[in-house]
Amino acid sequence: MRLASMATTALNALTPKAAKPAKAPPKRAKRTAKVQGKARQGASFRAGTHDSEHGARHYKLFTPGLAADARPPPLLVMLHGCGQTPDDFAKGTRMNALAAEFGFMVVYPAQPREAHPNRCWNWFSRDDQARGSGEPALLASLTRRITHRHGADPARVYVAGLSAGASAALILAATYPEIFAAVGAHSGLPAGAAQDQASALLAMQRGNPGWRLQHPKPTIIFHGSRDHVVHPRNGRLAAIRAREPYASLRATELAGQVPNGHRYVKTVHRVGSGRPLVEHWSIAGSGHAWSGGSSAGRFTDPKGPDASREMVRFFLRHSLSARQRAALAALLVTAQDGR
């Protein structure tokens, strides 16, 4: 798991990002899903570049082989942790294999060194925690572009991340709730947990509840009980924040153990007997690493429950209708106009 290395990279997230915005990076050229019908084309994992008024980012996009008559596929945005790249994150999470199995697309935006010297998403920067500003605006723009250009289903768009990427994912879902139907956070901090370097370090060590969320958003959270980089309290606080916008939720708790691996406690919150709306997984003995991941990637713990598969299972139960997306967008515009 190389936790000492992960601790160094995560703590390096507190170093100042470059004063100037990243320049547009140079453009690069560049298992079939279980659906009925004749396959239209094979799966692919290709590099691309997105350019916007808020900056530019390289990304890697996985598209499954789909049948010609298949419905538009879901899209999952995966935000890597500090010191990682899209390829490394894809290998460690094995998300592309699940995308091929279930027929969804995955985009892995890349944080360049120009934006942060250790490739961390700037979750603790004020400019990168607001709608219409910084990294949330850039990532929202990238998500919309991929959805439109590659024919993803706008009702089934999700975001997940690890560590700094998890914190950025929670911020992105909070600032653009009309885009994302659900969010997953592994070893991260609640949205709004820090406003600068000093408060970020304190939150990582002790926990901080961050913002009260204005809009309900289905959320699944994983955190290791021995995470010495981001205190496990942050996972619990993020789950509390995710529950607050819902009127009344019923909690059920399930304890289990991976064969020859870690024990875990899964807490599920739902309305009545309906779909899970908030899940919190606490993995006993696991550190700051992606649970159930592959050792082919960095910062993974193969002995934990399969976080990737559980996130996909959770995500695919949630969607945002066109009416819901329009209503959320209108509310956000009204709120901004009233400031």
Counting residues of the chain whose pLDDT is more than 70, the rounded percentage is 86
DSSP three-state, residue 162: strand
Over the chain, what is the mean pLDDT?
89
Give percent of the chain above pLDDT 90.
Answer: 81
What's the structural domain count of the chain?
1
Distance set, CA 24 to CA 58, 73, 138, 164, 184 (Å): 9, 29, 12, 22, 29
Which residues of the chain, if any, have pLDDT below 50? 1-11, 13-40, 337-339
Q: Can you give the pTM of this predicted structure?
A: 0.88
pLDDT at 18 (0 to 100): 38
Q: At what angle do helices 197-206 and 233-243 cross, to 10 degrees?
A: 100
Tens digit of each residue's pLDDT (9 = 90 or more) over 35-69:
323 334 689 999 999 999 999 999 999 999 887 77
Q: Check residue 66 and give its pLDDT.
A: 81
Tell me what pLDDT residue 65 has: 87
pLDDT at 224: 99
pLDDT in tens, 207-231: 999 999 999 999 999 999 999 999 9
Strands 276-283 and 263-270: antiparallel
**Domain range for 243:** 3-337
Q: CATH code at 196?
A: 3.40.50.1820
